[in-house]
Structure 1
Amino acid sequence: MTSSFTPPGAASEAPPAPLLVGDALASAPRRDWLRPALAMSGLAVVALVAGFGVEGPVASRAVLIGGACLVLWLTEVVPPFVPTLLLMGATPMLMEPLAADYRLSSVLTWGMDPVLVLFLGGFTLEVAAMRHGLDAAVARHVVRLSRGRPRLLLLLVMAGVAFLSMWMSNVAAAAMMLAALRPILQATPAGAALRPALLLGVALGANFGGMATPVGSGPNALAVSAASAYSRVTFAEWMALALPLTALMLVLGFGLVLLRFRLSGRLELPAEEPRPLTRDGRRVLGVSAACVVAWLSEPLHGMPAPVVALGATALLFGSGLLKREDLGRLDWSTLLLIAGGISLGRLMEHSGLVARALAGSDLGGWPVSVQLGVLVVVAAVLSAVMSNTGTAALLLPLAVQLHPAASTPILVALGCSFGIPFVISTPPNAMAAGEGLDSSELIRLGLPLMLAGCLLVSLTGTAVLRLFGLP
């Protein structure tokens, strides 16, 4: 899950990592001019296509608006909420004279989706956990449970950071785990296998954890919204597919790390006084646990997950566990980004751009399994070098038109989560590299994991979802 909030008390512990607010993609070491140059080139191409490559004023203006937003999202040259504001303003300005359907009141409703409320609840739980130290407590407990055994420590680190990333920002999850591991990392001799193994474990756990829940990442939110046109995807249904997938990818990652680094012996863990949760911390834990249970038991009680999220948000603020200033710490940037991605899909569908794009492609004649496999691989490859939410906003409208079913956007969103092999792919990767992990190690393990994940989702995803009533 994405966030722009730095945990209280973590500023001195967490490694400095330049973060791009909202989409949770770090500014990895790139030349300062590269992103603006790519953005300018992309905008020039969009202008040429809109001016000379598309027939009809509606289509050409839709290409201009949607293409400009996609370029800004994918290159991340501006904060990710800026393209959303551009889309909301430019669409009625340029297209309302052509059709009344594009007036401002109509455009604003495009992005109003219940999934935004679900994410708001998730962000509220995240801020509450950070304020009262629940995330740091989990990270410290993981280290204690290992009892000085390196392999068990690696496994618990991967599982712990993945668990945190299911409910909160993978950036914050990685930062908390790195802070808990820092005494061990600093005591590890130069060249020892333990340091790169643990850093890889943090990166892989944070990357794969976001797949497991609908609130785990921006692409998940866009997928839930796109799938709602065919079937309502409950919290439990998403996790029925994604949680076993996450567990399997963590096991594969753990095995590859052990093959690469032969961990053995015992560790001397730093002495640390137990820090029990405060009374308010226990209350936040109770609210969070009740919220998660309500989300998972939605098929039993029928209360939609967004309504539960609203109730949890009201309870946390109404009880005083969160203060007025905490409202500003919620990740409004990501909410705007998700709303923009949903609106972009509606613009592409409403203007007929999706139908035109598919009419000019040859994918329609391919077997469905091959079509889905191609989409999943393309999603992973683009997400490896660009914004994963921007990639989802680009591919989901095409995917659901190519194969209109609730399972299609879910599989594409999971594909976005496999774009992990490079330092620039995700913030946890950049943070691990900042701690000294060589980029070649990420590529060596990330590429086979990306390919294995894409293959697994392409071959089994549709069948598994059909078991739970999602065609």
Structure 2
Amino acid sequence: MALLAARPHHPAMSPLPLAGLAPAEAPSSPHDENSHGAASRGGRTRPALAAAGLAAVALVAFFGLEGAVATRTVLIGGACLVLWLTEVVPGFVPTLLLLGATPVLLGPLDSAYHLPSVLAWCADPVLILFLGGFTLEVAAMRHGLDASVARHVVRGSAGHPRRLVMLVMAGVAFLSMWMSNVAAAAMMLAALRPLLKATPAGAPLKPALLLGVALAANVGGMATPVGSGPNALAVAAAAEHAQVTFAKWMLFALPLALLLLGVGFGLILLRFRLGGRLSLPAEDVASAPLSRAGRRVLWVSAVCVAAWLSEPLHGVAAPVVALGATALLFGTGLLKREDLGRLDWATLLLIAGGIALGRLLEHSGLVARALSGADLEGWPVPAQLGVLVVAAALLSALMSNTGTAALLIPLATQLHPAASTPVLVALGCSLGMPFVISTPPNAMTVGEGLDSSELMKLGVPLMLGGCLLVSLTGPTVLRLLGLP
């Protein structure tokens, strides 16, 4: 699961994961997940960076470019990118700025920039797909499906430390595939908290579990199109060359996520010697049965996911399936009117802004103009893609991954026009995870007592190895799946 504004865990939406536990409070950060927590940054640093960035944008626009369209496009797009990357304002604010400023500044120069045309840039089916994913997430939290997964993970370990770490990672990654990685990490940490508190100081189990939670929350989001904001931007950008179905995305991204999880689990076992047996109080691992409504939500979710994966067989587009699932959940009363306000509208606006920014840069010709002065066409294609993937990972490790994707995907598709290019950049964005400030799950685990240096010891080799793997094998695998 980036600059996406994920909702804090709401006590009324999900039962307590374990007896006597209060749900963990998720930071006000993005879906997907791979977003940056505001709390992890200095209160003065971000405004200063934003001010410097805006000043640099103004200098480039007024003194480095010729032509009114280019100047005004840089002012609009540059200001939005600075605000997204520094996170000095909520993530949806730059989207509103872009939608309002484009008709005002560029509309008088060309009718193609009038408000109806600009709004049409945002009318992408991927937003409906994400709306369906958010609806399933809210339904799962309201009726306790996420808490049930967390309880079953703890109980399924049967007191074996290695099995517990493996199941925790699998459970968090599975939840992050379909819902906010912040919520997934928060729920699992709440389920583990009694065990973490009971673990003696210096015991290897605690850092091993916390590392497992952080890694799985970061990696799980890359496995599905609805797992993170960069994925949505990649699907929208790739549509100009080929359709990226739900099944196609999972065919290449799920094995990659599983491989990274397996390598991460192996590194955790190498780093920490886990042995012996755990003593888990019966009341802490007791699994309350799902309510009747919870079972109905489970069935709706299962049918929806099955329809997404079988799209090539029945021909019903994934966004249409998402609309049907949303209508069914609200129409049958499984979700109430007040749940509509719990959907992640801020994230939808953020994704819409990223799509609109890409269309603005493309329509104005600014990206092509910027690349025309760079002698990159002589580079081998694998080298070009490798640079893009590494740049995406490094920027996402320090800043918003959705803002990074909004910046790099238009550049990448102009440099190498192909359906696979934005997909590879999006995967690179999900690999930026070695620092405490890289994602909210990282910050949450450090808050639970994990040493930030442990994140770097595990995260840096995974990031570099993942970038190498994606760059070298990604184009070939995607070509085999019909995404040249």
Aligned counterparts of 1:299 and 1:423: Cα–Cα separation in 2? 40
The answer on whether the counterparts of 1:19 and 1:25 sit within 8 Å (CA) in structure 2 is no
Task: State the Cα deviation string for residues 155-211 of structure 1 (Å, max 9, x = none).
Answer: 111111000000000000001100111111011001110000000000000000000
Partner residue, 1:186 = 197
Distance in 1 between residues matched to 2:424 and 2:318, nearest whole Å: 21
Structure 1 position 29, deviation (Å): 2.9
Residue in structure 2 matched with residue 310 of structure 1 by the alignment: 323
1:16 positional shift: 3.9
Q: Secondary structure at the match of 1:97?
A: coil
In the alignment, is the contact (CA less than 8 A) between 1:22 and 1:333 conserved in 2?
no
- Judge conservation of contact 1:215–1:221 (CA < 8 Å) in 2: yes
Asked if the contact 1:184–1:270 (Cα under 8 Å) also holds between the matched residues in 2, the reply is no
Work out which of the residue numbers 420, 423, 426 in structure 1 matches 2:433.
420
The structural deviation recorded for 1:356 is 1.1
**Equivalence map 1:381-420=2 (5 Å):** 381-420=394-433
The farther-off stretch of 447-456 and 7-16 is 7-16
Indicate how the Cα distance of structure 1 residues 22 and 452 shifts in structure 2: closer, same or farther if over 3 A, else same: closer
Q: Following TM superposition, by how much is the alpha carbon of 1:25 offset from its aligned partner in structure 2, in angstroms?
A: 2.5
Counterpart among 28, 50, 57 of residue 19 in structure 1: 28
1:257 is aligned with what amino acid? I
What per-residue deviation string (whole Å, max 9, x for no partner) do you get for residues 30-74 of structure 1? 321000000000000000000001110000100000000000000
C-alpha distance in structure 2 between counterparts of 1:66 and 1:93, whole Å: 14
Aligned counterpart, 1:467: 480
Identity of aligned residues (%): 76
Return the match for 1:100 from 101, 111, 117.
111
Aligned mates of 1:270, 1:66 — CA distance in 2: 55
1:358 touches 1:364 (CA, 8 Å); kept in 2?
Answer: no
Distance apart, 1:463 and its partner CA = 0.6
Query: Residue in 1 aligned with 2:444?
Result: 431
In the superposition, the TM-score normalised over structure 1's length comes to 0.98
Counterparts of 2:192 and 2:129 in 1: how far apart (Å)?
Answer: 32
Q: Is the 8 A contact 1:28 1:423 kept in 2?
A: no
Check the 8 A contact 1:111/1:342 in 2, yes or no.
yes
Q: Which amino acid aligns with 2:467?
A: C
Partner of 1:368: 381
For residues 446 and 199 of structure 1, the distance between their equivalents in structure 2, rounded to whole angstroms, comes to 13
Is 1:85 the counterpart of 2:85 in the alignment? no
Deviation at 1:5, TM superposition (A): 4.6
**Match for residue 8 of structure 1?**
11
The answer (yes or no) to whether the contact 1:28–1:424 under 8 Å persists in 2 is no
Question: Over residues 120-139 of structure 1, what are the superposed CA-to-partner deviations in whole Å (9 max), with x where a residue is unaligned?
Answer: 00000000000000000001
Quick check: 2:126–2:235 contact (8 Å CA) kept in 1?
A: yes
Secondary structure of 1:171 counterpart: helix
| Contact preservation (8 Å) 2:8, 2:25 | no
Specify which of 345, 370, 388 is matched with residue 358 of structure 2.
Answer: 345
| Contact map agreement 2:31 2:180 (CA 8 A) in 1 | no
Residue correspondence of structure 1 range 296-335 to structure 2 within 5 A = 296-335=309-348
Matches within 5 A, 1:449-460: 449-460=462-473
- Aligned partner of 2:259 in structure 1 is 248
Q: Distance in 2 between matches of 1:13 and 1:415?
A: 35
Structure 2 Cα separation of the partners of residues 156 and 429 of structure 1: 19
> Structure 1 stretches of 5 or more lacking a match?
none
Please report how far the alpha carbon of residue 378 of structure 1 lies from its aligned counterpart in structure 2 after TM superposition. 0.1
Give the drift of 1:17. Answer: 4.5
Is the contact between residue 21 and residue 79 of structure 1 (CA under 8 Å) also seen in structure 2?
no
Deviates more, 1:10-19 or 1:248-257: 10-19
Cα deviation, residue 85, structure 1:
0.1
Partner Cα distance (2:199, 2:141) in 1: 28
- In 2, Cα distance between the equivalents of 1:7 and 1:441? 30
- How far has the Cα of 1:266 moved from its partner? 0.5
- Post-superposition shift, 1:224? 0.1
- Residues 88-109 of structure 1 show CA distances to partners (whole Å, capped at 9, x for unaligned) of 0000000111111110110010
Q: Which residue of 2 aligns with 1:216?
A: 227
Shift of 1:315: 0.1
Maintained 8 Å contact 1:423/1:429: yes
Amino acid at match of 2:199: T
SS of the residue corresponding to residue 11 of structure 2 reads coil
1:418 shift after superposition: 0.2
CA distance in 2, matches of 1:365, 1:103: 38
Aligned counterpart, 2:139: 128
Contact 2:9 2:25 in 1 (8 A): no
1:356 equivalent in alignment to 2:369: yes
Do the aligned partners of 1:20 and 1:79 also contact (CA within 8 Å) in 2?
no
With over 3 angstroms needed to count, the CA separation of the structure-2 counterparts of 1:243 and 1:456, relative to structure 1, is same
Give the match for residue 282 of structure 1: 295
> In structure 1, what is the equivalent of residue 46 of structure 2?
35
Q: Is the 8 A contact 2:24 2:187 kept in 1?
A: no
Q: 1:15–1:431: 8 Å Cα contact kept in structure 2?
A: no
Aligned partners of 1:451, 1:13: CA distance in 2, in Å? 37
5 Å matches for 1:441-452?
441-452=454-465
- CA 1:17–1:294: 2 relative to 1, 3 Å: closer
RMSD (CA atoms): 1.2
CA distance in 1: counterparts of 2:93 and 2:302, whole angstroms: 35
Equivalents in 1 of 2:23, 2:430: separation in Å? 24
Separation (CA, whole Å) in 2 of partners of 1:402 and 1:8 = 47
Paired AA for residue 179 in structure 2: M
Match among 177, 195, 206 for residue 166 of structure 1? 177
2:238 is aligned to 227
Contact 2:169/2:216 (8 A) holds in 1: yes
**Where does residue 61 of structure 1 map in the other structure?**
72
Say if 2:9 and 2:26, in contact at 8 Å, map to a contact too. Answer: no
Q: Show the counterpart of 2:58.
A: 47
Relative to structure 1, the CA distance from residue 288 to residue 426 in structure 2 (aligned partners, 3 Å threshold; closer, same or farther) is same
Q: Distance in 2 between matches of 1:42 and 1:285?
A: 46
- Distance in 2 of aligned mates of 1:348 and 1:370: 24
Aligned residue for 1:13, secondary structure, equals: coil
C-alpha deviation, 1:21, in angstroms: 5.2
Kindly provide the CA deviation profile for residues 304-333 of structure 1, in whole angstroms up to 9, marking residues without a partner as x. 000000000000000000000000000000
Amino acid at match of 2:254: L
**Alpha-carbon displacement from aligned partner over 1:231-276 (angstroms, at most 9, x marks no partner):** 0100000000000000000001001111111111110112123200
